[in-house]
Structure 1
Amino acid sequence: MSIESIEQLIDYRGNCHCGAFKFTLKAPALKEVHACNCSFCSKNGCLWTFPVTSENFVVVRGDEDSTLKTYQFGKRTMAHKFCPTCGTTVMARVHSNVGINTRALVDVDATTLGVVTIDGASREPLYQIPEPLAAGPVAEGTTIYTGSCHCGAVGYNVQLPKPLASARACNCSICHRDAAVWIYPRTTTVSFKGRDSIVEYTFGKRETYHGFCGTCGVAIYERYLGDASVKTALNVRTMNELDLASMEIKMLDGKAFLPAYESPW
């Protein structure tokens, strides 16, 4: 007898941030999520529930194959799917089984659930870090950090006056879905490559533009309309060989900022 036949199934709703893709999910009450340490899930901060059968996963708006964009890597056995408009990583599919990124669920704070770690990082073939963007002249005492999206289409470097010790996470509707962890260096200290591969998404007051890779969906930066020449937010999840666990992560209550996010439901 399956677990699903014993436990009562609960109706969950989910969507990408812009609402182009909406779905419902029937599953036992969520008590834990799976966090994979592979290169892709680490950059996206995905928190998964799976396997979900196709019968318990119903698309309400959009289409899995045409509304969402598919990204694969490694052995290409898993299809990661994200919204090409807002960048939300929604799901992953292996044949008939579906994994749902619980960050895309409505009224579920996945960060409060128990976490089961999956060691995807050790699976062959091992991920090769994309060639970093070379830095120009470096001032004495400056620390250089490099980073990229997962596929390597977008890369950057940033020159900071001291090594990174802290960053800021935000619980707003878009940052929660992206699991972004931010630092705010001066724009003049950041250099990019592959800007043609970046998609920008904005909402609310339309003062902040969220930049993500149009190929793999990884969130890279935030650009501020009224402050673009002064600072750029960088998602430190995308930095090469940075130990996020060793940093102090401060929480910003972006959910409280007005106007409040209007759910497509």
Structure 2
Amino acid sequence: MSVVDNVVYHGNCHCGRYRFQVSAPEIVSAISCTCSLCVKKGYLWLIPEEGSFTILKDEGCLVEYRASTLKDRFCGHCGSGIEGEHLTGPLRDKFLVNIRTLREPYVNPFSLESALRVVEVEGDTRSIEPLSHELGETPAKAVFSCHCGHVRAALLGALENEELKEDNCSKCVRMAYIGTYPTKDNVRIYGRDRVFEYLTGGKFTGSTFCKTCGVHVFSNVYGPPISVFDKLPPERKEKALAVYHKNMAMQPLNVRTIEGVDLDKLRPLTKREDEGTEGYELTP
């Protein structure tokens, strides 16, 4: 495909504080890296040609995080990972754009899975301290962690007993979010003071991100004011309140952040909703 046939893609972080355009051949494949940071953020990379990437809006919101294999830049307001540059391996020194942040035309990440180029890098020296001393006598069945280790969650029950969900709505697609929803009494969270929170819509759920590395480990559930149910007829109110209390008891966690996770094994167990980003609009 010649340069004349390139497609101009517009992309942005979810909140729109950072916007760009990139010219490239129609995107029908992507690059996936096995380094720990790429796995936790679910990056799908595009290598744009020199001069094809243009910043359209920059409110100074991007935060840089440097790991042993990759340095990336994420929005410090909404957590979207935008750009990267590998420090080792076959992608070393190449400017990379996260395909998940492309909005117009939309590129469905689900459609790219059969055409991924998977690369492996050396020198992934990441290590974090174990949580055993903090949990006491209650062993964790799974430990969820951001990349730098400042934010973590311990699941006390078996993961196989929990539902796994993934969708490609405008926010979840940028986080590459795969959710599981145990009850709060089955989870211990560490580092709540090390996150920033992003709320959208009715602000009933807040997605949190590590201030240092930008990885999303857990969400906060707030729900609507319970007074909204007072307007319902009795036969509907009882059922609605049951759902409300069930949701309020949840502690959503990001499956991608499980230490040592094998996503290929979990994929068949994950329920997917492929509804895309319909209804997502940016303010000028």
Paired residues for 1:89-108 under 5 Å: 89-93=81-85, 97-106=94-103, 107-108=106-107
Describe the superposition over 1:100-124 as per-residue Cα deviations: whole angstroms up to 9, x where unpaired: 000000112133122111113xx02
CA contact (8 A) 2:219 2:252 kept: yes
Equivalences for residues 1-265 of structure 1 within 5 A: 5=3, 8-53=5-50, 55-62=51-58, 66-74=60-68, 78-93=70-85, 97-106=94-103, 107-113=106-112, 114-120=115-121, 123-124=122-123, 126-134=124-132, 135-138=135-138, 144-161=141-158, 163=160, 167-226=164-223, 229-247=248-266, 248-252=269-273, 255=276, 260-264=279-283
What is the alpha-carbon distance in structure 2 between the residues aligned to residue 151 and residue 96 of structure 1? 22
Question: 1:186: Cα distance to partner?
Answer: 0.6
% same residue: 30
Would you say the 8 A contact 2:142–2:159 is kept in 1? Answer: no
Unmatched tracts of structure 1, length 5 or more: none
Matched residue of 1:160: which SS?
coil
- For the 8 Å contact 2:83–2:97, the answer to whether it is kept is yes
Flag the 1:254–1:196 CA change in 2: closer, same or farther, 3 A.
farther
Give the stretch that moved more between structures: 20-29 or 191-200. 191-200
Partner-residue secondary structure (3-state), 1:35:
strand
Partner Cα distance (1:110, 1:230) in 2: 31
Q: Which of structures 1 and 2 has the bigger CA Rg? A: 2
Distance of 2:47 and 2:163 partners within structure 1: 32
- For residues 60 and 8 of structure 1, the distance between their equivalents in structure 2, rounded to whole angstroms, comes to 22
Distance 1:164 1:236, change over 3 A: farther
Partner of 2:232 in structure 1?
none
Q: Matched residues in 2 for 1:256 and 1:93: separation?
A: 27
Q: Point out 4+ residue stretches in structure 1 off by more than 6 angstroms.
A: none
Distance 1:79 1:128, change over 3 A: closer
Distance 1:100 1:70, change over 3 A: same
8 A Cα contact 2:22 2:48, kept in partner: no
Aligned-pair CA distance for 1:253: 5.1
Report if aligned partners of 2:218, 2:252 keep a CA contact under 8 Å in 1: yes
Question: How far apart, CA to CA, are the structure 1 residues paired with 2:94 and 2:277?
Answer: 36
Q: How many residues align?
A: 249
Q: Deviations over 1:49-105 (max 9, x none)?
A: 11442x211110116xx3211011116xx4300001000001114698421000000
One-letter code of the match for 1:82?
F
In 2 relative to 1, CA 127–51 (structure 1 residues): closer, same or farther, beyond 3 Å? farther
Q: Distance in 2 between matches of 1:48 and 1:261?
A: 22
Residue 136 of structure 1 and its aligned partner are, at CA, apart by 3.3
Q: Structure 1 residues 97 and 213, CA, compared in 2 at 3 Å: closer, same or farther?
A: same
Letter in 2 for 1:196: D
3-state DSSP class of the match of 2:217? strand
1-side partners of 2:206 and 2:270: how far apart?
22
Give the alignment's Cα RMSD to 1 decimal: 2.5
Contact 1:132 1:148 in 2 (8 A): no
Gaps of 5+ in 2: 87-91, 224-244
Equivalent AA in structure 2 for residue 137 of structure 1:
E
Displacement of 1:165 after TM fit?
A: 7.4
Name the CA distance, whole Å, in 2 between partners of 1:220 and 1:174. 14
Q: Which has the higher strand share?
A: 1
Q: Residue deviations 1:192-230, cap 9 Å, x none?
A: 222111111011111110011111111111221026751
Aligned residue identity for 1:236: V
